[in-house]
Structure 1
C-alpha cells in the first residue's frame, strides 16, 4: 500500500511535469525594467505590438486571454484597456465572438510636422480647421485692442502648460493646452458672433481628436518646441501691443501648420 502511495505521487509529479503552460508575456520580475513604466503601460505596449502586426478590424482575443498574456491583474488590465482606447489602438466588442479588435484606421488631419488622429465622426473637421485658421488674424486684432494686463496674464497660464508638455515631449497635452490658449485669446474679443463661432469650431476639432502622432518625416518633439516658442513670442507681442510683430507671427503660425489646429 505504501508503495502504491509513492507510485501515485510519482505519477502525479510526472503528469504535472508533462503539462506545459505558456509563460506570461510580462513576468513579475520584468516590472520596473522599462524606464519607469508602470504595469498598465507595459501591458499596453504588449497589446500595441499585437495591433501593429494585425490588420485593421482583426480580433486580438478576449479580455481574459490578453490579460493572461500580459500577466497582470484585472484592475491593471482595465487601466491598460483605457490607455489603448485613448490611443485609438483597439475597440471592444461585447458578447459571443467579442473581445478586443485592432482599431480601424482613424481619419487624419495634417498638423505641421504631426497629424491629428480623429474619430470616425470627424468628416467635417478639416473644414472647421480651415475656417478657424481664417479667423485667427481677426481675433489677434481684437486682442491687440482689448486685452488687459490681466488677460495677458491669463494667457500665460496655458502657455506654461504648453512649455511643460513640450519639455515632457507629450504632444497630446501640448495640443490641448494650445487650444486652451487660443480659447483664452478668443475670449477677449468683444465681437460675440466672431467669438462664439471660433470657440464652436475649436470645440468641434477638440471633440473629435483622439491623439497627436508624428507625421513620419520630422521629429514631433522638435516641432512642438518650435510651436511653443512661436506662441510665447505671440503673447509677448500682444503684451507690448506690437501689431506688426503679432500679425507676422499669426501669419507664420497659420502657414507653418499647413492647415490644421495648433
Structure 2
C-alpha cells in the first residue's frame, strides 16, 4: 500500500474506533461507504469493492470491540448476563446475514434499512419513556432478538449497535449500560460475520493480493491499529456525557446512517 492509502485508512480507523467507544456501534456503517470509495480509487474490481469493504469492516470490529468493551467493563457498565442471552442468536444471525445479503436486491435492502434506522432514531430523539413494566424478554425472546440483531448487522457489515442500543433502551435498560453492552456484542457479530465472508469469498476470482476470502488483510491491520487506540477515548467520553445528550448524539448518528442508506436505495 502506498503512503496515501495508509494515511486514509489510519484516519478512518481512528474515527471508527472513537465512534465504537462513544456509541457502542462497531463503526461498520461509517466504515463501509468510506472504504468502498477508497478501494475503488485503488483499482479494485467494482463487483467486489463492497463485499471487501463489508467483510473487512466486520473483521476490524473484532479488535475495536475488545478495546471498547475493556474500557466500559472497567466502569462496570457491561451487562454480561444480557450479552450471554443475546450472543447465541447473534452468532447464528451474523453467519446468515452475509448470505442473505447476496440473495437480495441491494436497492430494496438499502430502503428497508433507511426506514428501520430512521424509526429507531426518532424513537430515541423524542425520548418517549417506555412503559415502566417493560423489561428485556426471557431467554427465547432474547435468542430471537439476538438472531435479528446479528442478521441485520451481518447484512451491512456493522457491529449491531444501531439495533441493539434502541432495543435495550426500549426495554428500560439505561443508555450507558446499553452502549457498553452493545460494544461487547460487537465481537460475536464480527467473528461470525467475518468467518462467513471468508468462506463466501474463498474462491472468488480476481481478488487482490492480501485478500483472505473477502477480508483485505492490509486494510484490516491499518484500521485496527488506529481504532484500538481511539475506542477507549470514545468510551471515556460516553461516560462523561449526560443521558439526554448521549441519546441525541446517537439519534443524529442514526439519521445520518438512514440518509446514506436512502441515497443508495434511490440512486
Could you say which TM-score interval applies, normalised by the shorter chain? under 0.3
Q: Which structure's CA Rg is the greater one?
A: 1
Q: Which has more helix, going by share of residues? A: 2
Q: Comparing both chains, which one has the higher relative contact order based on Cα–Cα distances under 8 Å and sequence gaps of 6 or more?
A: 2
TM score, norm. by length of structure 1 = 0.27
TM score, norm. by length of structure 2 = 0.27
